[in-house]
Chain A
């Protein structure tokens, strides 16, 4: 088996374990109130973390100062608030981003 297949397998197993852990721990006994509270609040904070993580390598101190990301990101949010169409929000903002970094900046 080549190394890439093994690496993919390792990624798959670890990803599955991260998804399975809460079920394996609390799946057979009553779930404590504090865990339920975390289940209700954490996902929202996690998605916020993911958004920041997605833009983590943007540099605001060097040219183009994060402008392509800001413009395309803002377009994505505005389009989604307005039309609630995932393809439109994701598609239009990605194409805009590609245009911005390839042609403008």
Chain B
């Protein structure tokens, strides 16, 4: 692997590094506060590696939720990932065994960066994903260690996750000229939250967003 690829991947992921480390620290501190072992935090960050789901997992694991409800929750929160792969199928086809890690590395942040990169530079695509996960794991370890020494009230620290989503949303918004999908997403999710409530909103919003985008495409095609 060439040195300039490593350098480029580091430069591209540098802004994520700060955000990820901060959010992962918040996650690990929450885990510790709920009496969950740092080993679990580490396992989640290595093998699940999905920010929103890991924050949801803090609640699930500490409240002793059943495996089935954890499974359904995971599916609901992470089903959006299905759409992330769609624009990365071409580079995936040319990968060998590393493609199995490439799949695992596709977090919201990684995907956001990959969107704007040259899809033929496969080592770069892989390294961006790997670096991001390493930051995430590093933050988890720092948070687990730091929580031993925290002497202040950490209530509200989970806002870090919300802030991360807002930041990605702003970045995505600025990266394209066409804002219809983003506006559609906001409006339909708000409607679904009000109409279907907190538990059903993810799946209902996804169905409506999908249907609306397909309808929009058809309309544009006709005109």
Inter-chain CB contacts under 8 Å: number = 266
Contact indicator A49/B202 (Cβ below 8 Å)? yes
Q: Which chain B residues border A42 with CB–CB below 8 Å?
A: 83, 86, 181, 209-210, 213
Stretch at the interface among B2-10, B101-109, B142-150: B101-109
Instruction: Closest B residue to A55 by CB, please name it.
Output: B162
CB distance from B100 to the nearest CB of A (A): 8
**Majority secondary structure of chain A interface residues (helix, strand, loop or mixed):** helix
Chain B hits for A57, CB < 8 A: 198
Is A63 engaged at the interface, CB distance under 8 Å to the other chain? no
Q: What range describes how many residues of B lie at the interface?
A: 35 or more
Q: Are B18 and A20 in contact (CB under 8 A)?
A: no
Task: Find the A residue at minimum CB distance from B60.
Answer: A7
Given contacts A11-B70, A43-B115, A76-B163, contact A35 B48 (CB under 8 A): no
Q: Indicate if B32 sits at the interface (CB-CB under 8 A).
A: no
| B81 on interface, CB distance cutoff 8 Å | yes
In the assembled complex, which residues on chain A have CB atoms less than 8 Å from the CB atom of B170?
Answer: 77, 80-81
Q: Nearest A residue to B79 by beta-carbon distance?
A: A18
A binding-site residues for B, Cβ under 8 Å: 3-12, 14-16, 18-23, 26-28, 31, 34-57, 68-69, 72-73, 76-77, 80-81, 84-87, 89-91, 93-94, 97-98, 100-102
